[in-house]
């Protein structure tokens, strides 16, 4: 973290407690508020403000969570990229219900998102894949994400193999690697306030329209 980033963090710390939620009307949409909070997080100096937890659930009901990076969001949903053969992807195929969580500590804010997932189009995945640095592209080929290593050097050996294989020209986009789009049906904005009288605003999608209400902290 650079000195400037540290100073920005210090400057921002606790600001959320002093700031109430913006006015929310019955026709407010969660995307507007999410965009505003995401921009605040980007400006705050927090490292990786786009980091979020994604929780999936196995077919026998065992939930699991891990961090990923939000790469895109709009009216269609929230997108992250991963290996389609990973544990999370297998679980999302079996059970398309998913939960996301953002926590921006210096802003004293969290956002909880629940909904269902769908794969992004292969074109969208390929476009993002090719925007990544070459090392990450080859790394995607080398990693059998979530699978057991057969020996300690397996990953290194596979990296060498794919580096040689794709030494010339463009690294092709692997079909087993791509994006998931979370289509939200529930979004909660949580703003820390003094005396634990936190603000909680819920947006719920009913019949394709968003309704909002506040709940006790």
Ligand X SMILES: Cc1cc2nc3c(=O)[nH]c(=O)nc-3n(C[C@H](O)[C@H](O)[C@H](O)COP(=O)(O)O)c2cc1C
List of residues contacting ligand X (CB under 6 A): 48, 51, 64, 66-69, 80-82, 86-88, 145-146
Residue 144 or 193 having the CB closest to ligand X: 144
User: Closest by alpha carbon to 66, among 114, 101, 117, 32?
Assistant: 101
Q: DSSP state, 210? A: E
- Shortest approach of ligand X to residue 70 CB, angstroms? 8
User: Closest by alpha carbon to 213, among 29, 203, 192?
Assistant: 203
Which amino acids are annotated catalytic? Answer: 196
61 Ramachandran zone, left/alpha/beta (phi>0; psi -120 to 50): left
Residue 66 or 214 having the CB closest to ligand X: 66
- Shortest approach of ligand X to residue 159 CB, angstroms? 17
- Shortest approach of ligand X to residue 10 CB, angstroms? 22
Residue 73 or 81 having the CB closest to ligand X: 81
Residue 128 or 203 having the CB closest to ligand X: 128
Distances in Å between the Cα of 190 and the Cα atoms of 39, 51, 193 are 16, 17, 9
Give the position of tokens 């794919």: 162
- Shortest approach of ligand X to residue 58 CB, angstroms? 11
Characterize the bridge pairing of strands 109-119 and 97-104. antiparallel
């Amino acid at each position: 973290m650079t000195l400037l980033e540290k100073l920005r963090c210090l400057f921002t710390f606790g600001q959320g407690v002093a700031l109430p939620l913006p006015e929310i009307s019955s026709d407010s949409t969660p995307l507007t508020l999410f965009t505003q909070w995401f921009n605040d997080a980007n400006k705050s100096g927090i490292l990786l403000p786009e980091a979020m937890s994604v929780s999936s659930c196995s077919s026998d009901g065992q939930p699991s969570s891990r961090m990923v990076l939000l790469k895109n969001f709009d009216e269609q949903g929230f997108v992250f990229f991963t290996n389609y053969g990973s544990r999370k992807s297998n679980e999302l195929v079996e059970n398309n219900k998913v939960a996301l969580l953002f926590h921006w500590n210096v802003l004293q804010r969290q956002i909880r998102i629940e909904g269902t997932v769908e794969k992004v189009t292969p074109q969208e995945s390929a476009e993002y894949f090719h925007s990544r640095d070459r090392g990450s592209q080859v790394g995607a080929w080398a990693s059998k994400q979530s699978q057991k290593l057969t020996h300690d050097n397996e990953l290194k050996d596979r990296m060498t193999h794919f580096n040689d294989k794709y030494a010339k020209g463009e690294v092709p986009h692997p079909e087993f690697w791509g994006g998931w789009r979370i289509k939200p049906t529930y979004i909660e904005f949580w703003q820390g306030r003094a005396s634990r009288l936190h603000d909680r605003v819920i947006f719920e999608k009913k019949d394709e329209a968003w309704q909002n209400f506040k709940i006790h902290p």
